[in-house]
Amino acid sequence: MMTTEDELGGSEPLTKQDFEALARFRFGIRRYLRFSEETVRRHGLTPQHYQLLLTLKGFPGREWATMRELADRLQLRHHSVVELVNRAQKQELVHRAPHPSDARAVQVQLTANGQLILERLSALHRDELRRMGAALTLPTWDALPDNGDMTAP
Amino acid sequence: MMTTEDELGGSEPLTKQDFEALARFRFGIRRYLRFSEETVRRHGLTPQHYQLLLTLKGFPGREWATMRELADRLQLRHHSVVELVNRAQKQELVHRAPHPSDARAVQVQLTANGQLILERLSALHRDELRRMGAALTLPTWDALPDNGDMTAP
DNA sequence: CGCATTAATATCGTATCACGATACACTTCT
DNA sequence: AGAAGTGTATCGTGATACGATATTAATGCG
């Protein structure tokens, strides 16, 4: 009865450490996104553009996606994705190709230029992620049992 | 020209898996932030407000912060923090208190109401983080494999 | 085949919000 | 007293996602 392992669903009041962990993680995300923004802007891209390119190149199994798929992975309205793709296309980062099996859909693909820039930027991001490591790992309460100890690290 | 790419750290060209890992991680962040936004808005807060409250409650060692400290942890101009705090104060989420040792500074503190809302929201966030687990763990390249192999796909 | 559904496109206006620029008041420190 | 730091105040700007709405075209189901 001690180990309330069934606390999935959220019930236990959070401890000071919980709040600190939550805040620290969020801070990590902020800093990472901040780094990302500054980096990509230095290369002439907006954060949205970079994430678009990355989503294409990093799509499981292939290297292109439809508008709808992009809307899902970018967490945007498919409608906003069109605008984003238009902007990216103007900069020759991506281009549209007809979808082989569904003529309604389009394949959004990387241009050679987009590919090149993405590779550079992604390497920098990979390095930064390595560097940030601890700051971005989520709190260790994944399977955290009850803990009466309050020694701070 | 300007980008003769041999920036430090980055060296190995990224593999398809690297891109997928990078994209997956970013997707995880997006989804988490999306969840966060919808959740806090359902409770009448903006994402910025929630992060402000969380930063206060989760500040290492105490439960308040100065404008300048907030600017650091929120990655904002101290100037923008004032606006944010003003908005939050109008909703009685935070309040200002004189700083004990430095009369120039202020202590931004949680109100009882802000405290209450934050606790609810944070519990939900903790649960979601548990749930997302894998989707938010960063790629396993933490320890760089000493591998000079460059078998091209 | 006909019709509902889905995908993409197109426009227009709206809202949010961080930011730059600037100025001012007050405090602390040297 | 003067310099530097902290907070406050205001105005305008830029970026961009979104809602609402409409259109076109293709798919697929009954």
Cross-chain residue pair B73–A27, CB shorter than 8 Å: yes
In contact, A83 and A73? CB cutoff 8 Å: no
What confidence tens digit (pLDDT) does each residue in B18-49 have?
999 999 999 999 999 999 999 999 999 999 99
- In a 13 Å sphere around the CA of A106, the CA atoms on its Cβ side amount to 14
Give A114→chain B minimum CA distance, Å. Answer: 14
**CA gap A1, B48 in Å, rounded:** 38
CATH topology of domain A16-137: Arc Repressor Mutant, subunit A (1.10.10)
Would the pLDDT of B120 be above 90?
Answer: yes
Which DSSP letter does residue A138 get?
A: P
How many Cβ atoms from other residues are within 10 Å of residue A75's Cβ?
A: 17
- Going from N- to C-terminal start, the domains of chain B cover 16-135
Would the pLDDT of B114 be above 60?
Answer: yes
Please report where in the chains the tokens 């290297």 appear, as a residue.
A63
- Would you state the pLDDT for residue B134? 79
- Would you state the pLDDT for residue A11? 59
Is strand D less than 7 A from the beta carbon of A68? no
**CA gap B118, B120 in Å, rounded:** 5
Per CB-CB distance under 8 Å, the chain A contacts of B126 are: 10, 14, 18, 22, 141
**CA gap B17, A35 in Å, rounded:** 22
Tokens linked to A97: 């190709």
Give A48→chain B minimum CA distance, Å. Answer: 12
Max avg pLDDT among A147-151, B114-118, B128-132: B114-118
Q: Which long-range contacts (CB under 8 A, 24 or more apart) does A28-36 make?
A: A28/A132, A28/A135, A28/A136, A29/A136, A29/B29, A29/B32, A29/B33, A30/B51, A30/B73, A30/B74, A30/B75, A31/A132, A31/A135, A31/B75, A32/A128, A32/A129, A32/A132, A32/A136, A32/B29, A33/B29, A34/B75, A35/A128, A36/A125, A36/A128
Show the DSSP H helices in B5-77 as ranges.
16-42, 47-57, 67-74
The CATH number assigned to the domain with range B16-135 reads: 1.10.10.10
The tens place of each residue's pLDDT in chain A, 153 residues long, gives 444 444 445 457 899 999 999 999 999 999 999 999 999 999 999 999 999 999 999 999 999 999 999 999 999 999 999 999 999 999 999 999 999 999 999 999 999 999 999 999 999 999 999 988 888 887 776 444 444 444 444
**CA gap B85, B52 in Å, rounded:** 8
Tokens linked to B52: 């402000």
Would the pLDDT of B58 be above 50?
Answer: yes
Cross-chain residue pair B10–A127, CB shorter than 8 Å: yes
Cross-chain residue pair A14–B126, CB shorter than 8 Å: yes
Closest CA to B27 of A58, A108, A31: A58
Cross-chain residue pair B14–A123, CB shorter than 8 Å: yes
Q: What is the mean pLDDT of residues B130-143?
A: 76
Would the pLDDT of B144 be above 60?
Answer: no
What confidence tens digit (pLDDT) does each residue in A66-108 have?
999 999 999 999 999 999 999 999 999 999 999 999 999 999 9
Q: Which nucleotides of C are covered by protein (CB under 7 A)?
A: 6-11, 16-22, 26-29
